Chains A and B, each alone.
Chain A
Amino acid sequence: RKEVEQDPGPFNVPEGATVAFNCTYSNSASQSFFWYRQDCRKEPKLLMSVYSSGNEDGRFTAQLNRASQYISLLIRDSKLSDSATYLCVVTFTGTASKLTFGTGTRLQVTL
């Protein structure tokens, strides 16, 4: 099993729709979680951190489910400009600290 797994998509949604992605992780001791956004042929950029209690930033909501070992990203009222690949990042700090990227989920928002 991969350490961090994401559905590659693409998720094709119309403008205004709500869409959600999940990211599962295998290390139950993982400690920090992030969502990054990567536009085509560009560098990844931090979208938001994921906190234990869940957090929201405008149209974006991130959730953590430790029991089932996954994080989620919900995008409400999708815009054309939301079209991108969304990468989840999971970190573990211990005797062998590690930061692992998922391979990303591609979102295409259409008119």
Chain B
Amino acid sequence: NAGVTQTPKFRVLKTGQSMTLLCAQDMNHEYMYWYRQDPGMGLRLIHYSVGEGTTAKGEVPDGYNVSRLKKQNFLLGLESAAPSQTSVYFCASSQGAYNSPLHFGNGTRLTVT
């Protein structure tokens, strides 16, 4: 049982480049989330999804887009990377909303130069 799998684990981008982070979960969870974690800031929610075909903005959505075409996958896109998007990105999933524990992927370390 893999749980939540994120790819890639590391990536270096130049300013203006684009990329997609992939998240897959095999727990049949309805809810999926993308967070970023920066020193001293804690985990901040970028976007989330409450089910297949739905997405919603979180706390820091600017510069990111997401898609949830299949229940098990949640994609995070950066259309034009900026140095301010250098961060560690975590995908998570949960059985229910807010009162259910989150299951996190291993994280993606992104550096934008």
Which A residues are within 8 Å of any B CB, using their own CB? 4, 8, 31-32, 34, 36, 41-46, 49, 87, 89, 91-93, 97-99, 101-104
Contact = CB atoms under 8 A, between A and B. Distances in A.
A36 B103 CA distance: 11
B42 A87 contact: yes
A37 to B, nearest CB: 11
Interface residues on B, range: 10 to 19
A26 B40 CA distance: 19
Which 8 pairs across A and B sit closest by C-beta, in order of nearness?
A: A43-B104, A103-B42, A101-B43, A91-B98, A46-B101, A32-B99, A101-B42, A93-B98
Chain A binding surface, main DSSP class: strand
Given A32-B99, A87-B42, 6 more contacts: A34-B101, A43-B104, A93-B98, A98-B98, A101-B42, A103-B40
B101 A49 contact: yes
